[in-house]
Copies of this chain bind each other. A is one copy, B any other.
Amino acid sequence: MRVSRDKAAENRERIVDTASRLFREKGFDGVGVDAIMNGAGLTHGGFYGHFGSKDDLAAEAIARALERSDEKQSRYANLTDLVSEYLCERHCADRANGCAIAALGADMARRRDGVRRGLTKHVRGQLDRFTHLLGNGAAERRRKRAIATLAGMVGALTLARGVDDPALSKEILAVARDALGEARPAGQSRGRRRIFHRLRP
């Protein structure tokens, strides 16, 4: 039965969101059009009224996930907090709503150009943000630190998720959190962390 244009637009959004989550949770080939449509409260037949193919949806769903990541990260005023949230156990356990790079990394690299271009833009954006948040020091050095930080985040989350043993998983997260979050004004102690973050003007 027909549905109002607004409602149809809503449905489309919900399909993209649902796919974005399911793909991250189960991988591209781990979810069918059927599951996505059901997840969005619809039936599979209507799918091709919204998208040209499952692949087209995949591209949109990834773009959506990356956007959401950007929005989330733009709320942090310092890198340590951002890193801590990224490497927390909740994020580790919740693949579906987390970082698309960690959830789909290797798969994305095998996808077609549109997806990889989106990923590249996202990575550049993240590096710029990190470089900015790092604040002090020469730009070149901050950029290097930004790259190392991003790589450490993605790798640590990948490892923590892949490993079987919860204790090892937690250890990886904790150590990486500590190692990567240390880009703070010199002289400030870290450890149990009695941290005081001053927002830069």
- Chain A positions within 8 Å of B, measured between CB atoms, are 26-30, 95, 101-110, 113, 116-117, 119-120, 123-124, 143-145, 147-148, 150-156, 158-159, 161-165, 168, 171-172, 175-176, 178-180
Contact = CB atoms under 8 A, between A and B. Distances in A.
The oligomer's copy count stands at: 2
A115 to B, nearest CB: 9
Nearest to A121: B164
A165 B151 CA distance: 16
Most buried by B among A123, A145, A152: A152
A140 B101 CA distance: 30
B26 A110 contact: yes
A105 B99 CA distance: 14
Contacts of A116: 162-164
Contacts of A172: 147, 151
A144 B110 contact: no
Nearest to A180: B148
A147 B110 CA distance: 27
Contacts of A110: 26-27, 30
Contacts of A107: 27, 106-107
